Amino acid sequence: MIVRKIKEEELKRTSELFSIAFEFPDHNWEKSPEEVARQCRENPDSPIQKYALEKWAAFEDDDKTMMAFIGGTPYDVEFDGHTVKMSGVGGVSSMGQYRRQGAIRGCFQQYLRDLYDTGFVFSTLYPFSASYYRQYGYERGEDLTGYRIPVSAIPKFDVGGHVRLVEQGEGLADAMKVFDAFRQGLNMASSRTELDYSWITRANPAKDCVYTYIYYNEGGEPKGVMTFTKASIGDAPDGATHYQISCQRFYFVDMEGLKGLLRHCKAFEMYYDFVSFLLPQHMRIEDLIPERSFRQPLSLRRNMNGMVRAVNVQRALELARYRGSGEFTVRVHDGMLPENDKCFHIRFQEGRALSVETTESAAPDAELGINDFSRFLLGTHRPEEMGYVEAARFNAPTEKIGQVFYKKPIFITENF
């Protein structure tokens, strides 16, 4: 088996393989390999197309017969006040006759090696199975909170301003401004370019029945963005079928923006029973809905928000934000990248690392697989919660652990 990055003329085959693996028609089937490559090279309509050659494939020994491939889309993301390189995994596909033969593992090994060698710090993905990707060092990030709020229970918020329906690219700069403000301070939230906003540039609500509204305050500043479709739900307490404003995006700059969006939802009270959207866990907004009863239940649920992996442990420790000053030693186990499979001693002062060095003599304060190390450093758990993670080993008091691993705001942006 040979594993390498694909060539331009092999792009069409990855499209075919993806369609075969996931059992749906290939939208490129009528195009030649040259046409597929030209589209991605000259007129990409998404980051995935722009970085179409960022794919790693396994081939039979003839170096021609493609067995499997994975794709990686690079993004700049937030991490503890820094901007770092992250690669989002997508399109993981293998032909049926080659499954369980190590082809995907070979792709991940080469992919992670290339990321490490080119300065990436993290990788993320959205899994079909968390247990499957755990074998490659990925672990669940922090879940999002899913809200479903009765429209009738939304207060009549006293905010001014207005909303505008987006049609065919209107409001692109304003939507970008809102998301850039929303993602500030959220670990793993990615920066975006215009290619990430096809839902704005191609917006055609009359044709697609997908509605994007931007809320502007009285001063004309964009403060909130929501995109939704109409959806029916059948699990309401009364057993009847109800309709909800089902939001795919729900971003806001501040409390004014949030209230402006909710007030707009209130305007649909005669047509919809509920509004649903997802938010990072630290944005606890349920107290904005004071009226609750069995007839008007506000429901919360946890929605998986992707998986994370540290690609370069030392660099991540050098950039991390700590609490106070001190020293800490962590033993990391990583079966994919030997550079990470070491014991690291950190000295930090006033919240930032002074030095991060490998050591063989110091007794570790924590012993973690790359999976748990990655999510703990990003901030998924409080120190007192980590004792319930079976594979994690700690040899230090909770106060010391909490200087390195503690709860932080996280938002893994699904762009890839």
Structure pTM?
0.92
Residues 373 and 330: beta-carbon distance below 8 Å: yes
Whole-number pLDDT of residue 207: 95
Question: Where on the phi/psi map is residue 168: left (φ > 0), alpha (ψ -120 to 50), or beta?
Answer: left
Whole-number pLDDT of residue 99: 92
Query: For residue 228, which of 264, 192, 255, 201 has the smallest C-alpha distance?
Result: 264
Euclidean distance between CA atoms 413 and 48, whole angstroms = 14
Whole-number pLDDT of residue 396: 95
Amino acid at 42: E
Beta bridge partners of 225: 214, 251
Residues 28 and 396: beta-carbon distance below 8 Å: no
Euclidean distance between CA atoms 409 and 407, whole angstroms = 7
Whole-number pLDDT of residue 416: 44
Q: What are phi and psi of 178, to 5 degrees?
A: -65, -45
Euclidean distance between CA atoms 345 and 172, whole angstroms = 46
Whole-number pLDDT of residue 297: 74
H helices of 102-211, in order, are 103-117, 130-134, 172-182, 198-201, 205-208
Residues 151 and 268: beta-carbon distance below 8 Å: yes
- How many CA atoms lie within 13 Å of 192's alpha carbon, on the beta-carbon side? 26
Q: How far is CA 310 from CA 122, 297, 378, in A?
A: 5, 40, 9
How many CB atoms are closer than 10 A to CB 8?
15
pLDDT < 50: residue spans in the chain: 416
Whole-number pLDDT of residue 413: 79
Residues 301 and 286: beta-carbon distance below 8 Å: no
Specify the 3-state DSSP secondary structure of 191.
coil
How many CB atoms are closer than 10 A to CB 138?
25
